Structure 1
Amino acid sequence: MLGVLRSTWPLLLGMLCLMLGNGLHGSLLGVRGPAAGFAPLTMSLIMSAYFAGFLFASRMVPEMIRRVGHVRVFAALGSFISAALILFPAIPHPVAWIAGRLVLGFCFCGVYVTAESWLNNTATNETRGQTLSAYMIVQMLGIIVAQAMLLIPDVSGFLLFVIPSVLVSISFAPILLSISPTPAFESTKRMTLRELYGISPLGMVGIFLLGSVFAAQFGMAAVYGTEAGMTLKQISIFISAFYVGALFMQYPLGWISDRVDRRGLIMAVAALGAAAAVVAWLASSFWLIVAAAFVIGGCSNPLYSLLIAYTNDFMEAEDMAAASAGLLFINGVGAIAGPLVIGYVMQAFGASGFFALIAGLLAAVAAYALYRMTQRPAPKVEDTGAYAPVMPNSTPIAMEVAQEYFIDHAEDDE
């Protein structure tokens, strides 16, 4: 791991700055929007727009890079991010914020794709797993530290929007000064959703539902905290708990998944997350809600990696890359739908609807996993692939790194 850090620290530092900016702006909007009089349903439209832009960019950005190159795409989209971030307080209107989030989703996906391309280019077959792990840790730490920045005094109302803009601008330096030429994108044969569902119904349904759960955490947690009457400090702790839980639970669950029937583990982890959401739904104690958020984050985020690994267990190595586009698409659709549904539920039934819907989504994953266990036998543990940590907001490049890791291990096993 130290060797990986020595060779990739400029890229990882740049990605950390990007995640700080992204993590801060999302939570900041979740706090400022309700303060400006935006209803939960309006906030859900604003938050959902980010994931719509992200999904659109995951299809468009590779073609943009083929045409004009990594550096130009990275610089252009990064400039749009910096500009969009400081326009939010200047135009406090729902339509402007929806448009801004759509632009940010597109641009953040674009800069992640280009930065991850360079990161992937530095990895070898021997270091790919460690590179993926280091990248995921940086992503998590960026979001966690960003929540503490919510507490910076902001008398003018502009400072907290300027900070993520500056962080994104700073991220360019270590990334652009450390890169080497990156190979052009290669076209990958796509797998239809029908084919993907035929290979792994649980993988496809589970990733769709988890897309909604992750989007709720990333987009609507601050809105929930504001509607529930939490202070800024409490909101910061509450949101951080999701990602601290994910950071702690990712590797233990990954270790277990390589040694048991993954469907049983998926069912148990999803059921535990649903139970924690029910506790948070009924709880009145702030610290009990934080503890439940820790468990929910520790269950829902690793579940994404578990479902990818489980899906790959039923694929030949040459089909894994083709399946990644379908998995990303279905996750993106779920991420767009999640904030919209949660915003409607919160507006109709109050802030507690946030946890009620998360409980329902995770319970649905657990129930479907149990059902699938009755439909076909599990593959032998020695025939299953390796687990690789992947965030639910993965871009095509992060998925490519993960799939190459799976393929390398599959070939080694053969």
Structure 2
Amino acid sequence: MTAVFFSTWPLLVGVLLLMVGNGMQSSLLGIRGGIEDFTTLQISLVMSSYFAGFLFGSKMVPDMIQRVGHVRVFAALGSIISAVLVCYPVMPDWLIWALMRVAIGFSFSGVYITAESWLNNTATNETRGQALSIYMIVQMLGIVTSQILLNVGDPAGFAIFVLPSVLVSIAFIPILLTVTQAPTFETTERLSFARLYEVSPLGVVGMFLAGGIFACMFGMAAVWGTVVGLSVAQISAFIAAMYVGGLVFQYPIGWMSDRMDRRALIGIVAAVGAVAMFITTFLPIAMWVLIPAAIVIGGVANPMYSLLIAHTNDHLTKEQMAGASAGLLLSNGLGAMAGPPIIGWMMDRIGQQGFFVFICALMVMIAAYAAYRTTQRTAPKPEDTGAFVVMAPTAAAVAVGQLMEEAGQDTAAEVEQL
């Protein structure tokens, strides 16, 4: 794995800085929105707009790359991101912010697709799985780091918004100057959404509900923290703990998923999350409560994303795996778009408890549907299932599709050895 890191470090450093910039801007907007007296519903629509842009990008950027090339698309989208990041504090209008969030979501989607294509092209068949796993870990580390940097400036000022813009601009230097050969970009045959649902109902429904949970983590957590009066340091610690939880619990849950019915494990993990969120609604707002709660949210939501993809993979042919990634990301993106407005409405209606109530409700739905699906067909034997691979909810279609294929290839290799 060390050799893989040293061969791909320029890309990984660039991705790390991109994630730091993206994580900072999301949390900053949640805090600054409260300072600007935006309503909870208004700022929730701003947060939702990012995921709308991300979905548009996943559909349109591949065609842009084929027309004008990776380098031009990469540079153009990077310029848009840097410009938008410094425009937020000078145009404090929630509707303008929503439009800018669409643009920045579109641009980040394109940047991730380009970076993942380059990473995929740089790695060999023997190292591709390791490279993509390191890529996922780097993404999560970038978000954790971004929350630490929230404390270096005043969110009511201008300078703190310049920092993520600078980081994003710097992120392109190692990528564009080190990678000399642009990768070939191949579109995969897509699996229809109806066919994907027929193959794996739990995968499609679960990804939709998990998208709503992820939107809370990536956008609405800072909004909730501002509403309840947390300091910037407390908000940053709360959000960082979510991703630390994801890093810590990915591998233990992944180990279990390769040894039992994944539907049962999905139900168990979701039920644990639901119970934890239900209890949290009745506890005082204090850091000794919030940090463990955040670790549980992250420890459940991040592995849940990987579990659902692994479960779906178990029912696909090798040729369908990459194409299915687009449908799974569409389902997840639609859930992420719907999540912030709903949780914003709930917080307006029932108060700050709406944040944990919403997450609890989604967890209950996932657990209940997973339990139902266990009664509908027999689970494949563990030795016949694909390998669990670490996937961050921030990944684009290239990485998800490639990791799905890698998992299928690993299983095929194990079968050949038997």
Shorter-chain TM band: over 0.9
User: Which position in structure 1 is the counterpart of 2:397?
Assistant: 396
Measured in 2, the distance between the counterparts of 1:290 and 1:155 equals 22
Measured in 1, the distance between the counterparts of 2:7 and 2:27 equals 32
* TM alignment of 1:1-12, pairs within 5 A: 1-12=1-12
User: Which position in structure 2 is the counterpart of 1:317?
Assistant: 318
Give yes or no for contact 1:11–1:119 (8 Å, CA) kept in 2: yes
Residue 136 (str. 1) matches residue 149 (str. 2): no
Measured in 2, the distance between the counterparts of 1:253 and 1:180 equals 39
Give yes or no for contact 2:154–2:160 (8 Å, CA) kept in 1: yes
**Aligned residue type for 1:221:** A
Any idea what the Cα deviations from partners look like across 1:3-39, whole Å, max 9, x if unmatched? 1111011110000000000000100000000111001
Deviation at 1:92? 0.5
Residue 110 (str. 1) matches residue 110 (str. 2): yes
Measured in 2, the distance between the counterparts of 1:275 and 1:132 equals 33
Measured in 2, the distance between the counterparts of 1:120 and 1:298 equals 27
* TM alignment of 1:334-373, pairs within 5 A: 334-373=335-374
Deviation at 1:259? 1.1
Measured in 2, the distance between the counterparts of 1:243 and 1:92 equals 29
User: Which position in structure 2 is the counterpart of 1:406?
Assistant: 407
Measured in 2, the distance between the counterparts of 1:363 and 1:155 equals 35
The alignment partner of 1:385 has SS state of coil
**Aligned residue type for 1:290:** I
* TM alignment of 1:107-186, pairs within 5 A: 107-154=107-154, 157-186=157-186
User: Which position in structure 2 is the counterpart of 1:50?
Assistant: 50
User: Which position in structure 2 is the counterpart of 1:295?
Assistant: 296
Measured in 1, the distance between the counterparts of 2:204 and 2:129 equals 24
Deviation at 1:125? 2.4
Residue 384 (str. 1) matches residue 389 (str. 2): no
Residue 62 (str. 1) matches residue 62 (str. 2): yes
**Aligned residue type for 1:45:** L
* TM alignment of 1:260-299, pairs within 5 A: 260-284=260-284, 285-299=286-300
Residue 230 (str. 1) matches residue 230 (str. 2): yes
Residue 308 (str. 1) matches residue 333 (str. 2): no
Any idea what the Cα deviations from partners look like across 1:134-183, whole Å, max 9, x if unmatched? 11111111101111111113387111100000000000111111214234
Give yes or no for contact 2:321–2:401 (8 Å, CA) kept in 1: no
Give yes or no for contact 1:276–1:293 (8 Å, CA) kept in 2: no
Measured in 1, the distance between the counterparts of 2:362 and 2:268 equals 14
Give yes or no for contact 1:44–1:220 (8 Å, CA) kept in 2: yes
The 3 A distance-change label for structure 1 pair 70 and 155 is closer
Give structure 1 stretches of 5+ with no counterpart: none
Measured in 1, the distance between the counterparts of 2:257 and 2:204 equals 18
Deviation at 1:64? 0.3
**Aligned residue type for 1:271:** A
Measured in 1, the distance between the counterparts of 2:122 and 2:158 equals 38
**Aligned residue type for 1:109:** S
Deviation at 1:187? 2.8
Deviation at 1:292? 1.1
Measured in 1, the distance between the counterparts of 2:11 and 2:231 equals 35
Measured in 2, the distance between the counterparts of 1:130 and 1:198 equals 31
Measured in 2, the distance between the counterparts of 1:390 and 1:344 equals 30
**Aligned residue type for 1:301:** N
**Aligned residue type for 1:392:** P
Give structure 2 stretches of 5+ with no counterpart: none
Deviates more, 1:118-127 or 1:324-333: 118-127
User: Which position in structure 1 is the counterpart of 2:40?
Assistant: 40
Give yes or no for contact 2:322–2:402 (8 Å, CA) kept in 1: no
Give yes or no for contact 2:324–2:401 (8 Å, CA) kept in 1: no
Give yes or no for contact 1:274–1:296 (8 Å, CA) kept in 2: no
Deviation at 1:377? 0.8
Measured in 2, the distance between the counterparts of 1:267 and 1:73 equals 41
TM-score of the aligned structures, taking structure 1 as reference length: 0.98
User: Which position in structure 2 is the counterpart of 1:86?
Assistant: 86
**Aligned residue type for 1:302:** P
Measured in 2, the distance between the counterparts of 1:184 and 1:373 equals 41
**Aligned residue type for 1:63:** D
The alignment partner of 2:146 has SS state of helix
**Aligned residue type for 2:338:** A
Deviation at 1:396? 1.1
Any idea what the Cα deviations from partners look like across 1:340-371, whole Å, max 9, x if unmatched? 11111111111210110000001110110001
The 3 A distance-change label for structure 1 pair 13 and 51 is same
User: Which position in structure 2 is the counterpart of 1:209?
Assistant: 209
- Count of residue pairs the alignment pairs up: 414
Measured in 1, the distance between the counterparts of 2:356 and 2:135 equals 29
Deviates more, 1:402-411 or 1:241-250: 402-411
Deviation at 1:325? 1.1
Measured in 2, the distance between the counterparts of 1:155 and 1:54 equals 25
Give yes or no for contact 1:45–1:339 (8 Å, CA) kept in 2: yes
User: Which position in structure 2 is the counterpart of 1:254?
Assistant: 254
Deviation at 1:58? 0.2
Measured in 2, the distance between the counterparts of 1:227 and 1:68 equals 45
Deviation at 1:279? 2.3
**Aligned residue type for 1:296:** I
Deviation at 1:196? 0.8
The alignment partner of 2:90 has SS state of coil
Identity of aligned residues (%): 57
Measured in 1, the distance between the counterparts of 2:48 and 2:156 equals 27
